[in-house]
Amino acid sequence: MLGRSAAVGGALALGPLVAGEAAAASGSGQGTAAQKGGYERIGVRPLINGRGTYTVLSGSLILPEVRSAIDAAARQYVQLDELADGVGKRLGELTRAEFGMVASGCAAALTHASAACTAGGNPDLHVRIPDLTGFAKTEAIIPKHSRNVYEAAISAVGLKVVEVETREELKAALGPQTALVYIFAMPRVDESELDTKTIAELAHEKDVPVLVDAAAEVLTIPNVHLERGADLVAYSGGKALRGPQSAGILLGREDLVRAAWVHSAPHHGFARGFKVGKEEAMGMLAAVEMWVRRDHKAEYERWTSWLKTIARRVTGAVPGVTSKIVQPEGLSNRTPSLNLLWNAEKAGVKGQTIVDALWEGTPRIAINAAGSDDPALSGLSITPYMLEPGNDKTIADEIVKLLKDPPPAPEPPKPPAVDASGTWELEITYTAGKSTAHELKLSQDGAELKGTHRGDFVTRDATGSVSGADVTVRSNYGEEHGDSLSFTFTGTVDGDRMSGTLDMGEYLKGTWKAARKS
């Protein structure tokens, strides 16, 4: 999730690095466990984040000024509608948008924005969401290039998703039933015939607003998406802005943003659960105020220097390792990254093995594996965005140790000792429920498995392998459908039965058993 550099000059050269931010940069990585999160006392291991602002890795570290704003906000009472009005006006002043709003994350901002485009602040409609029976507006248009897992925030309002791929399809789909057009801000949007400007021009002819999901992007001032014609744009608060992880902002047309507030908590109805406290509101405002004061050029240079340190230490200590600093393209998550590559066969270790060892090691380090057009090469990718001072040296030292003394390679597969072909009826046990709707249809060629995996509602391709009596089957349902499901079945075949464990990626784990149909 890297990219986007054009049109950011106004936001990236706005002033000197303030004293508080400099202090955070020089000392935020130090301190005792008591001064930090205290996670170890409940058995949770903190980590060094060399991957990026992934929500599952807890986003980013909030700025000292944000912590101070949260602490100050917690010491007094306010009326939340009045707070939303004051914060909204101030966000507008800072970002040059008409108005702003703090939500409980970017996804919540998208949901509130969708409700605003659907119900317009009308409480008679609001209390019926997500049942849109009798509503005038019941559809959201999403170009094919913008289908992704986060569009669930749009359909949560009850809107039917209509996919389009061309100008003519968009023009045909737009109508009085269209609540909005949603765009997922990525470089591929600008390369499409349905770029933001084109979409906005066609949508506005039908009085349909355009909503941009810019969760992972840097905040541009003036806002690049609003300048291209979008009516609303949403950002994550816990990524580039380094505000509260449980916050986000919505910017744009004042009438729609104010309506989005009506459709949010503390007001009752479907969105009551998306509550934003006074602490998150003021903390998020402080993060935006800091954004326009931070020295982004100095931050970028510091990130690059950390990557150079890692590259220099690793390539200097381990022969055969090459390094390349990759500069981003576009606006999203504007950060450089470092690729370290080597010949896996000569080195006796692949990048993923190093990644796994760093994750399990002490200190715990999160980075990504890297590949190459040359299949002989394997390696690592490091993003410095969320690193703290000193992390660069720690990461370099740990990588050098593992490359000089690699972890054992996984055991090679055994010749297949069972036949896993056929149609298998599955019973999957989840955290608090079971499903008997799943089915695997597999064909076996030597150790290779191919086929399909039918789930509760959708069928997807499946691939796998057999090692001895052990079987592994993987299936994926990709984001191009607006969802992402990844299942890995690992188990043992015993005649016409097999069973084992199920890894469902972000949805954690389960167990399964299967019987082969005769």
For tokens 């469902």, name the residue.
504
pLDDT given for residue 8 in this prediction = 34
Q: How far is Cα of residue 415 from the mean position of the Cα atoms in its chain?
A: 39
d(CA 51, CA 274): 28
Domain spanning 297-404: CATH 3.30.429.10 = no
Interval 32-48: pLDDT, tens:
444 577 999 999 999 99
pLDDT given for residue 335 in this prediction = 86
Q: Is the pLDDT of residue 1 over 70?
A: no
- Look over the chain and give the mean of its residue pLDDT values, rounded to a whole number: 92
Q: What is the mean pLDDT of residues 145-164?
A: 96
Residue 184 phi/psi, 5° resolution? -95, 110
pLDDT given for residue 327 in this prediction = 85
Lowest pLDDT segment from 20-34, 40-54, 422-436: 20-34
More confident residue, 21 or 72: 72
Q: What is the mean pLDDT of residues 348-359?
A: 96
Lowest pLDDT segment from 75-84, 183-192, 229-238: 183-192
Q: Is the pLDDT of residue 245 over 50?
A: yes
Q: What is the mean pLDDT of residues 248-268?
A: 98
pLDDT given for residue 35 in this prediction = 58
Q: What is the mean pLDDT of residues 2-28?
A: 36
480 — pLDDT class (breaks 50, 70, 90):
confident
Residue 232: burial class (beta carbons within 10 Å; 0-12, 13-18, 19+): buried
Q: What is the mean pLDDT of residues 144-160?
A: 96
Lowest pLDDT segment from 142-146, 477-481, 508-512: 477-481
Alpha helix positions (H), 247-326: 254-262, 278-291, 296-317
Q: Nearest-5° angle of CA 118, CA 200, CA 328?
A: 110
pLDDT given for residue 330 in this prediction = 65
Q: What is the mean pLDDT of residues 282-309?
A: 97
The share of the chain scoring above pLDDT 90, in percent, equals 86
One-letter-per-residue 3-state SS of 180-240: EEEEECCHHHHCCCCCHHHHHHHHHHCCCCEEEECCCECCCCCCHHHHCCCCEEEEECCCC
Q: How far is Cα of residue 86 from the mean position of the Cα atoms in its chain?
A: 30
Q: What is the mean pLDDT of residues 199-211?
A: 98
pLDDT given for residue 331 in this prediction = 61
User: 437-441 contacts: CB < 8 A, separation 24 or more?
Assistant: 438/512, 440/473, 440/489, 440/514
Residues with Cβ within 8 Å of 357's Cβ and at least 6 positions away in sequence, in order, are: 402, 407
Lowest pLDDT segment from 63-67, 127-131, 154-158, 331-335: 331-335
24 — pLDDT class (breaks 50, 70, 90):
very low
**CATH H superfamily, domain 422-516:** Quinohemoprotein amine dehydrogenase alpha subunit, domain 2 (2.40.128.120)
Q: Is the pLDDT of residue 7 over 60?
A: no
Top-tier CATH class for 17-28+58-291: alpha beta
One-letter-per-residue 3-state SS of 127-163: CCCCCCCCCCCCEEEEEHHHCCHHHHHHHCCCCEEEE
Residue 174 phi/psi, 5° resolution? -70, 130
Overall size of the chain counted in residues: 518
- In the chain, where the domains are located: 17-28+58-291, 297-404, 422-516
Rounded to two decimals, the pTM is 0.90
Lowest pLDDT segment from 105-119, 182-196, 267-281, 486-500: 182-196
d(CA 391, CA 365): 9
More confident residue, 186 or 16: 186
Q: What is the mean pLDDT of residues 5-18?
A: 34
pLDDT given for residue 410 in this prediction = 81
